[in-house]
């Protein structure tokens, strides 16, 4: 039987379209995640960015790979049902932690989160994966927007540096970043309450509008991996980089850095 937060329809939809919404995934952990984000804002990690882009107003902060030093993140990752829900969505017997990610758009922030796929930035290959994007404030216009089925495209989308709009790698093996609104793609988006989560495959093209509302938009993301996840070398430095990982092509990600959170009974 699926986890109580899911139906078989949800699992089938995730397998087909690569994206669903899971209501209340972190509903019991909202205050802990808010406290963790405040700790993160006060003590940014080495990968933190304010995404300063010419011509844009406001503050768009993001940071990742902080679960080991921010106790609220670590505790929520262990105590929430996210790993068990991920196992059902991925149809995987194991769930491994890849990384956490915080994104904060202060009121009046005009910069959009550019359309992108997460997978091309990562040194991971495999079909069994899931990201959970969970707002800690009610969201309408600043919600996550995902192109259904884009995880099945023949070529990945070129990863870029958000603030500079520069290619991350040589563009040759990648397709240009499309304009889903102009091209009439199947964009899925939901109005969300704190603790709800969009679950999406690493290959899903996604983005978000700026936050022109009068309230903050804080979001916590959790990236998880399934049975078939393997290390793969990219054309250049990946994001996150995880320097000194010492993994080789085709190797399962090392469990001491990327711990197993759940094993199916």
pLDDT of residue 161: 81
pLDDT of residue 221: 98
pLDDT of residue 168: 79
Residue 9 phi/psi, 5° resolution?
A: -60, -40
pLDDT of residue 24: 98
Residue 34 phi/psi, 5° resolution?
A: -60, -40
Contact of 24 with 38, CB cutoff 8 Å: no
Give the start-to-end residue ranges of the domains of the chain: 18-256
Separation of CA 257 from chain center? 18
pLDDT of residue 53: 83
Contact of 168 with 159, CB cutoff 8 Å: yes
Contact residues for 164 (Cβ-Cβ < 8 A; gap 6+): 53
pLDDT of residue 206: 98
221-247: pLDDT as tens digits: 999 999 999 999 998 889 999 999 999
Contact residues for 31 (Cβ-Cβ < 8 A; gap 6+): none
pLDDT of residue 160: 87
Report, as ranges of residue numbers, the positions in the chain whose pLDDT lies below 50: none
104-147: pLDDT as tens digits: 999 999 999 999 999 999 999 999 999 999 999 999 999 999 99
Task: Give SS3 for 182.
Answer: coil
Contact residues for 65 (Cβ-Cβ < 8 A; gap 6+): 45, 47, 99, 100, 240, 242
pLDDT of residue 56: 87
Q: Which helix (H) or strand (E) holds 82?
A: helix 82-90
Spatial separation of the C-alpha atoms in residues 197 and 202, rounded to whole Å: 15
Contact of 232 with 124, CB cutoff 8 Å: yes
CATH 2.60.120.620 at 18-256, yes or no? yes
């Amino acid at each position: 039987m699926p986890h109580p937060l899911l139906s078989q329809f949800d699992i089938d939809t995730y397998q087909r379209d690569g994206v669903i919404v899971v209501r209340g995934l972190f509903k019991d952990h909202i205050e802990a995640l808010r406290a963790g984000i405040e700790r993160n804002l006060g003590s940014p990690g080495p990968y933190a960015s304010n995404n300063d882009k010419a011509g844009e107003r406001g503050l768009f902060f993001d940071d990742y790979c902080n679960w080991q030093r921010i106790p609220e993140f670590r505790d929520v990752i262990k105590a929430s049902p996210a790993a068990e829900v991920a196992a059902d969505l991925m149809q995987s017997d194991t769930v491994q932690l890849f990384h956490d990610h915080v994104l904060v758009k202060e009121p009046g922030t005009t910069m959009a989160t550019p359309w992108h796929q997460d997978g091309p930035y990562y040194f991971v290959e495999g079909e069994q994966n899931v990201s959970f994007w969970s707002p800690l404030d009610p969201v309408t216009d600043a919600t996550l927007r995902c192109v259904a089925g884009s995880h099945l495209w023949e070529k990945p989308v070129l990863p870029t540096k958000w603030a500079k709009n520069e290619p991350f790698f040589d563009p040759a093996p990648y397709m240009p970043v499309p304009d889903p609104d102009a091209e009439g793609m199947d964009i899925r988006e939901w109005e969300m309450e704190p603790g709800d989560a969009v679950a999406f495959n690493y290959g899903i093209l996604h983005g978000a509008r700026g936050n022109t509302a009068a309230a903050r938009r804080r979001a916590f993301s959790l990236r998880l991996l399934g049975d078939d996840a393997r290390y793969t070398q990219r054309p250049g430095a990946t994001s996150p980089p995880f320097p000194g990982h010492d993994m080789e092509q085709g190797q399962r990600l090392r469990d001491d850095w990327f711990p197993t959170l759940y094993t199916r009974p």
